[in-house]
Structure formats: C-alpha cells, structure tokens
C-alpha cells in the first residue's frame, strides 16, 4: 500500500514538530512549512494527498492559501483540514466557505487529527471511484467521480462542502433532512459545526446553482430537501 503524502503548514515550530512526529509514526510521508508562500510553492510542486493548514500565518494567511489552492486546477482536489486557534462559529463557517474540507481547533488531540485525516483520505478515495454513478435530476447533473456539477450542461464551481451537501440531497429527492442529519452525512457524527453553518452553506449553494437553486427547499422547523 502506498504511503500518503501530507503537507503541514503552521508557523508554530513545536506544533509543526508534534504533528510531523505523530503522522510519521502512523506511516505517512510528512513535509512541513511555516508560511503561506512556501505552502503554495510546495503544494503546487509536490501535490500532496492532503494538507493540514493553520489560519494565522505570516505573509499570506491560511484563508487566502486555501482560496488559491482551491482555485488552481492542479491542487483543487487536495483535501484541506484547517487547524487553528480561531474556533468561533464565524471562523469555522468562513473556513468551510473558502473550500476547507474539515476544521480542527487548537488545542487539539493528535489522535483526533489523525482520525480526521484518515476520514478525509477515505472520502477522497471514494470520490475517485469510477463506479460511482452519475445522477441527473431536473436540469442538474452530478458526477461524483469527477466531483463535478452541471446546470443545463454548464459546469458550476462548488466548494467541497457544498458539493457534498448537494450530492447527499439528490440521492433521496423529496426526503426532508434535518440540519444535524446533513452534518452527520457530510462531515461525520459529533462534528463541531453549528446549524447556522449548514444554513450558510445552503445559501451559498443556491446562489451558485442560479435558477436551479430553487430545487433546494426549506422545510420550516425541520430542515431541507431537494424537490422531486
């Protein structure tokens, strides 16, 4: 089995060493950098399997690094786990909106971080499966294997979280799901994201889908569904 390559970006040397030590012990190939500029250069030249990214970095901050990597076709597929001391709801929502796949707050447990990394890599492998069927409903076409959404045949750029929410809803059109059910399906149980963050993701998803956004319906007092 091949070893996965992880890029760690954190300007605190003790944290960088702690993560590198624990991930190396788990069998990962690990590289660490301390600033946003180096992070972009290493990610583009080495193309790691996953990135652990601090938000508060000298020079280009973590949010901007995430935006730039997700906007680059060469690196947009790389799962990004944000690791930061900024743990307010607004910070988590912002991180997810710019394309982060997961969010771990400091202080953190190395075991929890490793579990999140494993989950993100498993999810990436499932998304790469050629056997995942294409879904077409209304004027929407979802290609899970390519992580692509088309509206009237035109591609729509979604963040990883927006794509996962849409993919979850389209699999059971007409079914109503609570916000907790959506969080659990997309991010896993006991994930530290609030109901409000789901609402923010839905708003962004509807906006990007344009007229097709009307198919995602709000059921007052319950949650959301995709219209049959």
Residues 99 and 184 in one domain: no
Residue 189 pLDDT: 55
Residue 127 pLDDT: 54
Q: How confident is the model at residue 6 (pLDDT cuts 50, 70, 90)?
A: very high
* Cα(4)–Cα(48) distance, integer angstroms: 8
Residue 129 pLDDT: 46
Residues 120 and 147 in one domain: no
Residues 82 and 25 in one domain: yes
The answer to whether residue 86 scores a pLDDT higher than 80 is: no
* Total domains in the fold of the chain: 2
User: What percent of the chain has a predicted confidence (pLDDT) above 90?
Assistant: 25
The pTM for the full model equals: 0.60
Residue 96 pLDDT: 76
Residues 153 and 191 in one domain: yes
Residues 50 and 107 in one domain: yes
Residue carrying the six token digits 């400091």: 106
The answer to whether residue 27 scores a pLDDT higher than 70 is: yes
| Residues 9/54, Cβ–Cβ less than 8 Å | yes
Return phi, psi of residue 173, to 5°.
Answer: -60, 140
Residue 175 pLDDT: 92
Residue 153 pLDDT: 87
Q: What is the DSSP letter of 11?
A: S
Beta partners for residue 51, in sequence order = 7, 80
In this predicted model, what pLDDT tens digit does every residue of 97-133 receive, in sequence order? 788 888 888 888 889 899 889 888 887 766 554 456 7
CB-neighbour burial class of residue 137 (10 A; exposed 0-12, middle 13-18, buried 19+): middle
The answer to whether residue 208 scores a pLDDT higher than 80 is: yes
User: Which range among 33-37, 94-98, 174-178, 208-212 shows the weakest confidence by mean pLDDT?
Assistant: 94-98
In this predicted model, what pLDDT tens digit does every residue of 11-21 receive, in sequence order? 888 999 999 99
Residues 123 and 166 in one domain: no
CA distances from 194 to 17, 84, 158, 178, 217 (A): 31, 17, 20, 12, 20
Residue 192 pLDDT: 54
Average pLDDT of span 72-76: 82
* Cα(124)–Cα(128) distance, integer angstroms: 6
Residues 155 and 206 in one domain: yes
Residues 32 and 16 in one domain: yes
87-96: long-range contacts at Cβ-Cβ below 8 A with a sequence spacing of 24 or more?
Answer: 89/194, 89/196, 89/197, 91/55, 92/192, 92/193, 92/194, 92/197, 93/196, 93/197, 93/200, 94/63, 95/55, 95/63, 95/66, 96/159, 96/161, 96/193, 96/197, 96/201
Q: How confident is the model at residue 58 (pLDDT cuts 50, 70, 90)?
A: confident
Residues 116 and 139 in one domain: no
- Domain with 174 in it: 135-226
Among the candidates 80, 101, 127, a domain finishes at: 127
Residues 145 and 114 in one domain: no
Higher pLDDT, 1 or 116: 116
Residues 115 and 180 in one domain: no
Residues 13 and 72 in one domain: yes
């Amino acid at each position: 089995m091949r070893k996965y390559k992880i890029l760690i970006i954190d300007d605190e040397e003790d944290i960088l060493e702690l993560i590198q030590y624990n991930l190396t012990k788990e069998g990962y190939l690990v590289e660490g950098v301390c600033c946003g500029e180096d992070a972009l250069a290493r990610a583009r030249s080495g193309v790691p399997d996953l990135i652990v990214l601090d938000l508060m970095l000298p020079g280009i901050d973590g949010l901007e690094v995430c935006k730039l990597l997700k906007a680059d076709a060469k690196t947009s597929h790389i799962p990004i786990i944000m690791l930061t001391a900024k743990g307010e709801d607004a910070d988590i929502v912002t991180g997810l909106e710019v394309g982060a796949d997961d969010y771990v707050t400091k202080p953190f447990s190395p075991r929890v971080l490793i579990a999140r990394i494993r989950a993100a890599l498993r999810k990436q492998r499932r998304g790469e499966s050629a056997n995942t069927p294409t879904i077409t409903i209304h004027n929407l076409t979802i290609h899970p294997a390519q992580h692509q959404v088309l509206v009237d045949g035109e591609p729509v750029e979604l963040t990883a979280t927006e794509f996962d929410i849409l993919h979850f809803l389209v699999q059971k059109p007409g079914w109503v799901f609570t916000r907790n059910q959506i969080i659990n399906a997309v991010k896993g149980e006991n994930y530290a994201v609030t109901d409000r963050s789901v609402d923010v993701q839905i708003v962004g998803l509807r906006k990007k889908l344009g007229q097709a956004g009307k198919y995602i319906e709000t059921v007052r007092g319950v949650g959301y569904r995709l219209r049959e």
